[in-house]
A = this chain, B = another copy of it.
Amino acid sequence: MAAFPFEISAREGAARTGVLKTPRGDIRTPAFMPVGTAATVKALTVDQVAATGADIILGNTYHLMLRPTAERVKRLGGLHRFMRWDKPILTDSGGFQVMSLSKISKVTEEAATFQSHIDGSRHVLSPERSIEIQADLLGSDIVMQLDELVPLPSDDDKVAEAMRRSARWGERSKAAFGARDSQALFGIQQGGVSEALRRESAERLTEIGFDGYALGGLAVGEGHEAMCEVLDYAPGLLPADRPRYLMGVGKPIDLVEAVWRGVDMFDCVLPTRSGRHGQAWTWEGSVNLKNARFAEDDTPLDKTSDVPASRDYSKAYLHHLVKSEEILGQVLLSWHNIAFFQTLMAAMRAAIAEGRLAAFRADFRARQRGA
Binding site for B on A (CB under 8 A): 38-40, 42-45, 47, 67-68, 72, 75-77, 82-84, 276, 295-296, 298, 308, 312-314, 316-317, 319-321, 323-324, 326-328, 330-332
Contact = CB atoms under 8 A, between A and B. Distances in A.
B295 A44 contact: no
Contact of A328 (B43, B67, B314, B320): B43
A82 B331 contact: no
Query: 6 closest Cβ contacts across the A-B interface?
Result: A43-B327, A40-B328, A68-B320, A38-B324, A40-B326, A76-B316
14 contacts: A38-B320, A38-B326, A42-B328, A43-B328, A47-B308, A67-B324, A75-B296, A76-B317, A77-B298, A82-B314, A82-B317, A82-B320, A276-B327, A327-B330
B82 A40 contact: no
A67 B290 CA distance: 13
A331 B298 contact: no
Question: How many copies of this protein are present in the complex?
Answer: 2
A82 B320 CA distance: 10
Residue among A47, A314, A319, A330 having the largest count of chain B Cβ atoms under 10 Å: A314
Contacts of A316: 68, 72, 76, 82
Contacts of A327: 42-43, 276, 327, 330-331
Contacts of A40: 321, 324, 326, 328
Nearest to A297: B76
A276 B326 CA distance: 12
A320 B119 CA distance: 15
Nearest to A327: B43
A5 B317 CA distance: 33
Contacts of A84: 312-313, 317
Contacts of A83: 317
Contacts of A323: 67-68
A76 B314 contact: yes
Contacts of A68: 295, 316, 319-320, 323
Given A47-B308, A82-B314, A317-B83, A326 B296 contact: no
Nearest to A82: B317
A370 to B, nearest CB: 25
Contacts of A298: 76-77
Contacts of A77: 298
Given A43-B328, A45-B332, 8 more contacts: A40-B324, A42-B328, A45-B308, A67-B320, A67-B324, A68-B319, A82-B320, A83-B317
A38 B327 CA distance: 11
A42 B317 contact: no
Contacts of A317: 39, 76, 82-84
Nearest to A66: B324
B296 A42 contact: no
A44 B312 CA distance: 14
A35 to B, nearest CB: 13
A305 to B, nearest CB: 15
Contacts of A76: 296, 298, 314, 316-317
A272 B13 CA distance: 53
A38 B83 CA distance: 31
Given A76-B296, A298-B76, A331 B45 contact: yes
